[in-house]
Amino acid sequence: MLRAMSRATHLEVALFSSLFALLQACDGGCGKAPGAPERTTPGAPAGEGNTRSPSDPGVPALAQETLAGEGGGLALHGEPHLRGRLVRVRVANTGTAPLMLAAAMRVEREQGGSWSPVAGLGSITVRPSCEVEAPTCTTLAPGAELFPPDWLGTTGDAQCACEACVPVEHGSYRFVVSSCDGARRFTGEPFTLE
């Protein structure tokens, strides 16, 4: 009887060791297609279902040639909708290294061939939803995509709530974000508000 228990114990130890070695070899990547980028789901808090496969039809893929920003690696887009007043924000890491982005997002307007910050603009931040307070710094893994709340197309309160807000003038605009250390500045693709 003791001999049978001893064999079972050795078998269990061997099985456990094999399983442990397999898990270490996976290093969190098992069950995911090799090289598959992660996508952040709009409105989902970090760590709670915040990634989607790029093959998911609900997540439009950004083309590689849509790189924006000084230094590249970040695609930053504004997409006007609802008769051109609300602007969807898309932030994607198109590079091969993680990007750490500061919370504050600027909006700039083109006038006379140069870009300048929109005066009187309230806080617009890089965060997953209006229900989540913006972290000081957001890290985007390579291939990850974040959809911050819409810009309301206003000055004053310009994201999530519209108190003391005034519509901005018609024209060309772009979003601008910086790295957490302030060393890099990423300018977005221009878009038009009518």
Reported as a single tens digit per residue, the pLDDT across 160-189 is 988 888 999 999 999 999 999 999 999 999
Structure-derived torsion over alpha carbons of residues 96, 123, 157, 169, reported in degrees to the nearest 10: -70
Give the model's confidence band at 123: pLDDT under 50 very low, under 70 low, under 90 confident, else very high. Answer: confident
Q: 89 in a domain, yes or no?
A: yes
Q: 123 in a domain, yes or no?
A: yes
Tell which wins on pLDDT, 7 or 128.
128
**Does residue 81 share a domain with residue 1?**
no
Share of the chain above pLDDT 90, in %: 54
CB-side exposure of 15: number of CA atoms within 13 Å?
Answer: 6
**Does residue 8 share a domain with residue 103?**
no
**Does residue 78 share a domain with residue 127?**
yes
Domain range enclosing 94: 64-193
Residues in the chain: 194
Residue 134 has pLDDT above 70, yes or no: yes
Q: 82 in a domain, yes or no?
A: yes
**Does residue 71 share a domain with residue 17?**
no
**Does residue 124 share a domain with residue 70?**
yes
Average pLDDT over residues 54-66: 37
CB 74 within 8 A of CB 94: yes
User: Which of 164, 166, 167, 186 lies closest to 177 in space, CA to CA?
Assistant: 186
pTM above 0.95, yes or no: no
Residue 98 has pLDDT above 80, yes or no: yes
The phi and psi torsions of 104 (rounded to 5 degrees) equal -70, 135
